[in-house]
Amino acid sequence: MTERLLLSTLALAVTLAVGPVAAQTQRSPGGLSLPAGTGAASPNRTADFIVALVNSEPVTNHDVRQRLRQVEQTIAQRNITNAPPRAELVRQVLEQLINERAQLQFATESGLRVTDSEVDQAEQNIAAQNQLSREQFRQRLASEGIDVNRFRSELRQQLLLQRVREREVDSRVRVSDADIDDFIREQQANNDISSLELNLSHVLVTVPENASEALVAERQARAQRVAERARAGEDFATLAREFSDAPERVNGGQFGWRAATRLPDLFVNSTRALAPGEIAGPVRSLAGFHVLRVNDKRGGGGLPAMNVTQTRVSHILLRPGPQLSEQAAQARLSEFRQRIAGGQASFEALAREHSQDGSAAGGGVLGWASPGMFVPEFEQAMNRLQPGELSEPVVSRFGVHLIRVDERRTVPLAENERRERIRNVVRAQKLEEALALWARDVRARAYVEIREEPQP
């Protein structure tokens, strides 16, 4: 259950993985999660012209304009403020398209192929990520002016790119224990916060000067309850407006981006090892007790976060088949949800009787799960729930789920898990370097002729 399709930051490095490697995707204006490069056909093909040749295969001005449009949509949707100027984006897009053409040609000459059934499966996975059946997904594509055949052609190309990169690059990257040890030593030696920036929110529960021990204990308990509710997934901004005594409460407790050197040492030391979304505290200052949330962070290097937020979750799974359509499964789970909410049946009893999963015997309990253990469509729905809350029916590639979140907690990673997390960081660095070298080599061996400057 590790298959992923993720949004690319700038959609400039296009890869799509159907397997354990993360994929980069592009959001269309209507919200569908699509492979970068997919889009509506241009209504003005008559004005098109060739801007470059890659081993006699053309890259057209239309190709550049289409990719550029999607890159700019991503920039706007993500509120990216440090994007390069448009002229530089055009240059990067053209270079990306040239690299893709060269790599696709290399893959084809190497005998790699993507079958229709593999494209079908990838299309189904993207539909499931968007909480749609395949038929509904195609209807959405049509409503947004995206031709299904063109979409599948782009999808086939992205799968082929991923396959050749996995064969030529991923399979050759190794991370040894010595690499992990070297990375740890290097990060500890460069434990510098001068370049670290943090986007924090906080709740302050004040403690008056000369407060009695009983009052201090009462305020600490209040802060602890806020922290527990935040870790359980409640909206932090709402908690800040309700409980915080700090001026930032009107902004939902947000400080916004600040250099670590401009934040109190207490805040930096409490949060620098945390990942975005994690909660610190309560921590005590002269003003009182603080609960801190890491909204985002950048710069500063350092070791990856060594805590993880886990969710204890249960589900009821129905698998569509000849006797049960997907729509019928959704309707049945909606009925179960109403019966549970009305106190007419318990979740556990319905799971034991109806769930088509190995967890049925235990009342649907899946146990404690760390991020990444479930497929994205399941995990995203799970992450939106508060403890004790039931989801609407959720469609995944495994069937239709009724999900209940039972509890959340933040726990430190075990030593082997810490080393595995660091291994992933080191491997990602090595992969990036190896992919850049391989792409440069493939590009150098291709015949590339720039005909005209693109006209975006």
Q: What is the pLDDT of residue 189?
A: 62
- Report pLDDT for 445: 94
pLDDT of residue 449: 93
The string of pLDDT tens digits covering residues 205-215 is 998 888 898 99
pLDDT at residue 4, as a whole number: 24
Query: Which amino acid, residue 70?
Result: Q
pLDDT given for residue 19 in this prediction: 27
Ranges of CATH 3.10.50.40 domains, the chain: 192-301, 308-412
Residue in this structure with the two tokens 């060269």, named with its chain if needed: 102
Highest mean pLDDT among 45-59, 243-257, 303-317, 385-399: 385-399
pLDDT of residue 334: 95
Whole-angstrom Cα distance, residue 159 to residue 18? 7
Mapped onto helix, strand or coil, the DSSP state of residue 444 is helix
95, 200, 317 from 398: Cα distances, Å: 39, 37, 8
Are 54 and 158 in contact by the 8 Å Cβ rule? The answer is: no
The CATH architecture that domain 192-301 belongs to is Roll (3.10)
Q: What is the mean pLDDT of residues 22-43?
A: 41
Q: Is the pLDDT assigned to residue 75 strictly greater than 50?
A: yes
Cis, peptide link before residue 20, omega less than 30° from 0:
no
In a 13 Å sphere around the CA of 380, the CA atoms on its Cβ side amount to 14
Could you confirm whether domain 6-173+430-450 is CATH 3.90.1150.10? no
Nearest to 96 by CA among 34, 214, 217, 12: 12
Distance CA 421, CA 413 (A): 9
Q: Which residues pair with 312 in a beta bridge?
A: 368, 407
Average pLDDT of 196-221?
A: 89
Q: Which helix (H) or strand (E) holds 284?
A: strand 279-284
Is the pLDDT at 191 greater than 80? The verdict is no
What one-letter code names the amino acid at 396? S
* Cα(129)–Cα(24) distance, integer angstroms: 13
pLDDT at 368 over 90: yes
Asked if residue 47 has pLDDT above 70, the reply is no
- pLDDT at residue 34 is higher than 60: no
pLDDT > 70 in the chain, percent: 86
Mean pLDDT along residues 25-52: 52
In the predicted structure, residue 379 carries a pLDDT above the cut 60: yes
**Distance between CA atoms of residues 191 and 184, nearest Å:** 10
Convert the pLDDT of each residue in 321-367 to its tens digit: 888 898 999 999 999 999 999 999 999 999 999 999 999 999 999 99
Q: What pLDDT does residue 125 have?
A: 82
- Alpha helix (H) ranges present in 347-414? 347-354, 376-383
Euclidean distance between the first and final Cα of the chain, in Å? 41
Q: What percent of the chain stands above pLDDT 90?
A: 41
pLDDT in tens, 283-333: 998 889 999 998 887 766 556 666 778 899 999 999 998 888 989 999 999
Alpha-carbon distance of 361 to 355, in angstroms, equals 9
pLDDT of residue 41: 42
Q: Considering the chain, what is the average pLDDT of its residues? A: 82
Q: What local confidence, expressed as pLDDT, does residue 301 receive?
A: 57
Q: pLDDT at position 30, please?
A: 36
CATH 1.10.4030.10 residue ranges of the chain are: 6-173+430-450
Q: Is the pLDDT of residue 11 over 80?
A: no
Work out the pLDDT band at 13, boundaries 50, 70, 90.
Answer: very low
Q: 102 with 72: CB under 8 angstroms?
A: no
pLDDT digits (tens, 9 = 90+) for 135-187: 898 999 888 888 899 899 999 999 999 999 999 998 889 999 999 888 877 77
Number of H helices, E strands in the chain: 13, 14
**What's the token pair of residue 447?**
């015949």
pLDDT score of 420 more than 80: yes
Fold of 308-412: Chitinase A; domain 3 (3.10.50)
Chain segment 246-283, per-residue pLDDT in tens? 888 877 888 888 887 788 888 888 887 787 888 998 99
Closest Cα partner for 50 from 99, 18, 94?
Answer: 94
Torsion 231-232-237-242 (CA) sign: negative
pLDDT for 386 equals 87
Q: For residue 444, is pLDDT > 90?
A: yes
Structure tokens at 113: 């192929």
3-state secondary structure of 290: strand
For position 316, what pLDDT does the model report?
96
The angle formed by the CA atoms of residues 423, 425 and 426, to the nearest 5 degrees, is 65
SS3 call for 110: coil
